[in-house]
Chain A
Amino acid sequence: MASLKEVKNKIAGVKKTAQITKAMNMVASARLRGAQSKMEAFRPYSSKFEEAMSNLSGGANTGSFPLMEVRNVATVEIVIVTSDRGLCGSFNANINKLAEKKMKAYEAEGKKVSIVCVGKKGHQYFKKTGKVRKSYTNIMASFQMFHAREIAQDVADNFVKGAADKVEVLYGHFKSVAIQRPAVQDMLPVQPVANEQGGAKKAISGDYIYEPSTEEIMDVMQPLYLNVILYHAMLEVGASEHAARMTAMDNATSACRDIVNNLTLIYNKARQAAVTGELMDIVGGAEALKG
């Protein structure tokens, strides 16, 4: 059995760990609130944007835009959005695993894969494969729209150059505080947004006055649309990361509590054994003196 002092030290150590995980849990829950409100603030923008896109795609001729060009797919680019920091359970691992699965599937079909990493964890996971084309790390803590713009610009340039024929975004979808799932979204070529009400809406879009022409508006809007997709993915990852960390830290704290309980039991047993032993010694000594 471990000595009294050892067990006592261990209890103190585990208690300190619990303190840290508990603090991290609280920090994550505070940050989650911020990330969630950021996400909610963005929702009207993105929904309006999609509405306008669908109005436009009804009237515009889709074949003539470089960003909409559907090519024979030889190279697929995957934009992997992960968090910068760990200690959030299997959140990043899930995203990376899905990315790897996708990568293998594409390679089995004979397509080449290149990777763009947003967030440090994806970069660390994939840097040894040699397929990473570009990495954006240490921006997830305080990213802004212009970060998304920069990345979108780069990806779009690469697509137009012909270095990639299809671009997908892989990110952690924020389903709820308890559930985050990796998700895939097609980014390029830009697909015309589907009209929900079908023909009825298309008729309205024909009546719009466009300034300048639909084609020129599309030219401006498509890169913006990519920003919206990417920014959205980053927001989701931001919120998911904190939610995942909250759950992970909560689990860690309760695991610590269990360990402390067990150790306390061992400690008490050991203490009692020591006391009994000492008593026996004293009684034995007294008996010996009497005799």
Chain B
Amino acid sequence: MAQQIRLEVVTPKGAIVSEDVDIVNAPGYGGDFGVLANHAPFLSTIRIGLLTYEQGKKRENLMISGGFCEVSNNKITFLVESAEHGKQIDVDRAMRAKERAEQRLAKATQHDDLINRTRAEAALQRALARMKVSKMT
């Protein structure tokens, strides 16, 4: 059996995942990246998006929102504001959030309100990521 790496996903609400896995794929600052066992120490910021990890034949999808990740000592730790398994995602809620965010975005763009615009954009991205992840599972 191939070597594995320890994956930990930690949010303010507690640890979501703590498992030994074969590979982790995550949306990094400069694009998606994959991490295998014995990766060199690494630190990157994380975008809102899809985190996948594989364990033998099992493949899991996770929606994560912004934060950062650290790789050291054959361990990869994600510190993110929220993380949800594909199955747990409430699609209806994500849909509603998407519509709300779109409305807010349109309004903020009209009034040239930068702070609200950034916020609405982030909310929109979160909603889209949720929908995407839930479709995959």
Given A55-B43, A145-B81: A211 touches B29 (CB 8 Å cut-off): yes
Whether the pair B40, A44 counts as a contact (CB closer than 8 A) is no
A220 within 8 A of B: yes
- CB neighbours (8 Å) of A221 from chain B are 45, 68
Whether the pair B44, A211 counts as a contact (CB closer than 8 A) is yes
Q: How far is the CA of A76 from the CA of B43 in the complex (A)?
A: 34
Interface segment, one of A101-109, A160-168, A201-209: A201-209
B56 within 8 A of A: no
Q: How far is the CA of A187 from the CA of B13 in the complex (A)?
A: 22
| Distance (whole angstroms) from the CB of B55 to the closest CB of chain A | 22
Interface of B is mostly: strand
| Distance (whole angstroms) from the CB of A131 to the closest CB of chain B | 25
Q: How far is the CA of A49 from the CA of B10 in the complex (A)?
A: 10
Q: How far is the CA of A231 from the CA of B72 in the complex (A)?
A: 27
Whether the pair A145, B12 counts as a contact (CB closer than 8 A) is yes
> Which of A42, A49, A209 meets B43, CB within 8 Å?
A209
A41 within 8 A of B: yes
Q: How far is the CA of A123 from the CA of B8 in the complex (A)?
A: 40
Whether the pair A209, B77 counts as a contact (CB closer than 8 A) is no
A125 within 8 A of B: no
- CB neighbours (8 Å) of A41 from chain B are 12-14
- CB neighbours (8 Å) of A141 from chain B are none
Q: What count of chain B residues pass the 8 Å CB interface test?
A: 24
Q: How far is the CA of A222 from the CA of B37 in the complex (A)?
A: 29
- CB neighbours (8 Å) of A290 from chain B are none
The contact string, 1 if C-beta is below 8 Å from chain A, for chain B 61-82, is 0000001101010000101011
Q: Could you name 23 residue pairs across A and B whose Cβ atoms are closer than 8 Å? A: A38-B13, A42-B13, A42-B14, A45-B79, A48-B79, A49-B79, A52-B43, A52-B70, A145-B81, A207-B40, A208-B72, A209-B40, A209-B42, A210-B44, A211-B42, A211-B43, A212-B44, A217-B44, A217-B68, A220-B68, A221-B45, A224-B67, A231-B12
Query: 3 smallest A-B Cβ distances: which pairs?
Result: A41-B14, A211-B44, A208-B41
Residues of A whose CB lies within 8 Å of any CB of B are 38, 40-42, 44-45, 48-49, 52, 55-56, 145, 204, 207-212, 216-217, 220-221, 224, 231
- Known pairs A48-B10, A208-B72, A220-B68 / 5 extra A-B pairs, C-beta < 8 Å: A42-B14, A45-B14, A52-B43, A209-B43, A210-B42
